[in-house]
Amino acid sequence: MDPTLTTRELTADLWPDLEVLFGGNGACGGCWCMFWRQERGEDWSETKGAVNRRRFRALVEGGRAHGVLAYVDGVPVGWAAFDRRRELAKLDRAPTLACDDADRVWSLPCFFVKAGYRRRGVASALIAAAVAAVRRRRGTVIEAYPVRPGNFGKSIPAAFAWTGTIPMFEAAGFQPVGERGRGKQRMRLAEKAPGGAGRRKQDSAPA
């Protein structure tokens, strides 16, 4: 773990850092962390890029999108989103990720770690920070959707692992629920995290 790695919860004034981190591709493919927020009937080819960027910026500046940023030596190097599952319309209606208590659930649906900073524990630190941020909001049910290695073998191409990996979440105390043979795995953190996730150095954040 890099001793200069720190995390901060997203606030509106950190939008410029997020913009620098996401770069011209909006993290990947013009997503701007809007994939899971798509409403039914929306055409992704029309929203990816500029529309997603504008929508996400409005959410961030209005305090309606949540997440944590990671920094190394003050440079933004990683992002993890967290939000109430109900706010993530596409995720919430995905039949393969269905659950029967969605109103209680907080989701950790997406990660982006800058190339050159991967496999150094950045995403793991982001999970701890996101879990701590949800706990500060008195969220009790925390869910994630990591990829199964499937055909990839041991190393998953980074772009395919944007919902995280199973070992990342296992290390943070998450356990599989409704195990699926392929595709994204639904995992949950025990309501009282053993050992208390969120032990890494991080700034305090708005409630």
- 138: exposed, middle or buried (Cβ count in 10 Å: 0-12, 13-18, 19+): exposed
Number of H helices, E strands in the chain: 6, 7
- Confirm or reject binding of residue 151 to ligand COA (CB under 6 A): no
Q: What is the CB-side half-sphere exposure of residue 60 using CA atoms within 13 A? A: 24
- Confirm or reject binding of residue 118 to ligand COA (CB under 6 A): yes
Stretch that binds ligand COA, among 9-17, 110-118, 174-182, 193-201 (CB under 6 A): 110-118
The dihedral built from the CA positions of residue 106, 111, 117 and 118, taken in this order, carries a sign that is positive
| Contact residue for ligand COA among 112, 129, 130, 142 (CB under 6 A) | 112
Specify the residue, 124 or 185, whose C-beta has the smaller distance to ligand COA: 124
Stretch that binds ligand COA, among 8-16, 86-94, 112-120, 134-142 (CB under 6 A): 112-120
| Contact residue for ligand COA among 101, 103, 119, 138 (CB under 6 A) | 119
Q: How far is the CB of 46 from ligand COA (least distance, A)?
A: 17
114 neighbors 73 (Cβ within 8 angstroms): no
- How far is residue 133's CA from residue 50's CA, in Å, rounded to a whole number? 29
Binding site for ligand COA (CB under 6 A): 27-28, 31, 110-113, 118-124, 155-156, 158-159, 161-162, 164-165, 167-168
